[in-house]
Amino acid sequence: MDTRLLGTFLTVARTGNFTAAATELHLAQSTVTVQVRALEKEFGTRLFDRLPRGAALTDAGRRLVPRAEEVLDAEARLRAAAASGGPPAGRVVVGAGETLCSARLPGVVAALRRSHPAVDVGLEPVGTLAAVEGLRTGRLDLALLLEEETPFPDLVTELLAHEPLVLLCAPGHRLAGRTAPVTWAELAEETFFLHEQGCSYSDRLARGLLAVPDGRARLTRFGSIEAARSCVAAGLGLTLLPRATVAEALEAGRLAAVPGPPFPDVPVRLARHRKRWLSPAAEAVVGELVRHFETRA
C-alpha cells in the first residue's frame, strides 16, 4: 500500500473538504479525488460521503482514521530508525497563541537554526481549542498553551514558565501615572480592548469586570493582539497583555502600565499527543523550548 494515500485520506478527513485538502497538500483536487478513490477500491468500501458542501466520513472511514494514524506513525519511526546516527532532521509544526509566536518563538527558531540546521520549524498561530484539535489530528506536532488547567487526557503537558501580565493604557490616558492601584469598580467604568474569547487571561479579566455590580465596562474582543495594542496606544481604552508583548512599547513610552488588581502570571505549558511518537526533530525542538524558557524564568 502507498502510505501517501493514507496521508491524503487523513487530510480530507480533517478538513472535511477535497478542495481544502488539495490546497494543504499542494495537489490538484483531481489528484486528491483519484487517491481517495484508489484507497476506497483497495479497501472495498466507501470512506467518504460526497456532499454539496464537503466530504463526511462514513462509518468505515471513521474506523480507519486511528488505524491510518498508527500506520503513518510507524512509518515515521522506521524512517527515523534508518537515519539514526545522523543529526535530527525534518519539519516540526508548533502551534501557539499570538503572544508566544511574536514574543518568544522567534528566538527558539533562531537557536534551532544554529544548533540543528536540518530541523525546519513551522509556527502556526492558534488558540487553545485549535491547538488541541491540531495535536489530535496530527496537524501539529507540539503546542504551547497559555492555560491554568489543561483538562485533556489524551495530551501530555509540561509546565515551562509563567508569563507576567500588565494592565495598559496610553501615556495620555487619565489613569497613566497613577500610583494608587485602580479598583475593580473604577475599571468597570472603562473601555477595554481584549484578545479574542478563549484567551485565558482576557476571559478572566472580562469575568471580573462583568461581576462588578452596576459596572459599565465596554468590551471589544480582537483576534489580533496587535489590533488591541494599537487601539490602546491611540488612547481609546485599556487592555491586559503579557509583558513580553509590550516591553518595547513600554520602554519607548508608547504605552503606560496601570497599577491595578493583581493578575496572576499565565502558565506556559508545552503539550503533545499522548499516543503519538515524538520524532528526533521534535525532541530537538522540545529541548530548545525548555532551554529558552528556563533562561527567561
Claim to verify: residue 100 and residue 56 sit in the same structural domain: no
Of the chain, the end-to-end C-alpha distance in Å amounts to: 49
* 276 shares a domain with 135: yes
> Between vectors from CA 237 to CA 104 and to CA 230, what angle results, nearest 5°?
45
Q: Print the domain residue range for 40.
A: 3-82
Q: 471580573: which residue's cell?
A: 208
pLDDT over 90 (residue 104): no
**pLDDT score of 38:** 93
Spatial strand order in the sheet of 239-242? 239-242, 165-169, 256-257
Per-residue pLDDT band for 81 (boundaries 50, 70, 90) equals low
Ramachandran class of 218: left when φ > 0, alpha when ψ lies in -120 to 50, beta otherwise: beta
Q: Are residues 158 and 273 in the same domain?
A: yes
Judged against a pLDDT cut of 90, whether residue 126 lies above it is answered with: no
If pLDDT is split at 50, 70 and 90, which confidence band does 83 have?
low
Q: Are 235 and 172 in contact (CB under 8 A)?
A: yes
pLDDT score at 25? 87
3-state secondary structure 36-69: HHHHHHHHCCCCEEEECCEEEECHHHHHHHHHHH
Same domain flag for 173 and 251: yes
Q: Are residues 41 and 102 in the same domain?
A: no
Regarding whether 188 and 251 lie in a shared domain, the answer is yes
Mean of the pLDDT values across residues 273-283? 86
Query: In this structure, are 158 and 169 located in the same domain?
Result: no
Q: Are strands 165-169 and 256-257 parallel, antiparallel or unpaired?
A: antiparallel
Q: How many CB atoms lie within 10 A of CB 244?
A: 17
Residue spans of alpha helices (H) in the chain = 3-15, 18-25, 29-43, 59-82, 98-103, 105-115, 128-137, 184-187, 200-210, 225-233, 247-252, 280-295
Q: Kindly state whether residues 236 and 214 are assigned to the same domain.
A: yes
User: Per-residue pLDDT tens for 130-176?
Assistant: 888 888 878 899 999 988 888 888 899 999 999 999 999 999 999 99
Scanning the structure block, which residue is given the C-alpha cell 470512506? 47
Do 188 and 102 lie in one domain? The reply is no
Residue 240 · residue 201 · CB < 8 Å: yes
| Residues 207, 191: Cα–Cα separation, whole Å | 14
Where does a domain end: 82, 114, 138? 82
Contact 80, 280 (CB under 8 A): yes
Which grid cell is 134? 491540531
Q: What is the pLDDT of residue 51?
A: 87
Of the three residues 82, 105, 137, the one that is the final residue of a domain is 82
Q: What is the pLDDT of residue 138?
A: 81
CA dist., res. 5 & res. 40, Å (int): 10
Domain identity same for 60 and 185:
no
* Grid coordinates of 13: 478527513
Sign of CA dihedral 215, 221, 224, 229: negative
Q: Which of 49, 82, 115 is the endpoint of a domain?
A: 82
Q: Is 197 helix (H, G, I), strand (E, B) or coil?
A: coil
* 58 and 175 co-located in one domain: no
Task: Count structural domains, the chain.
Answer: 3
Q: Are residues 50 and 119 in the same domain?
A: no
Match 524564568 to its residue by C-alpha cell.
297
296 vs 122, more confident: 122
Q: Look up the CATH number of the domain holding residue 217.
A: 3.40.190.10
pLDDT, residue 8, reads 92
Span 210-267, pLDDT tens digits: 999 998 999 999 888 889 999 999 999 999 998 888 888 999 999 999 999 999 999 9
Question: Which CATH number does the domain housing residue 53 bear?
Answer: 1.10.10.10
Q: What is the pTM of this model?
A: 0.71
Q: How far apart are CA 103 and CA 120, in angstroms?
A: 19
Residue 101 pLDDT = 86
pLDDT digits (tens, 9 = 90+) for 3-58: 889 989 988 998 899 999 999 888 999 999 999 999 999 999 999 998 888 899 99
Residue among 260, 120, 247, 250 nearest 182 (CA): 260
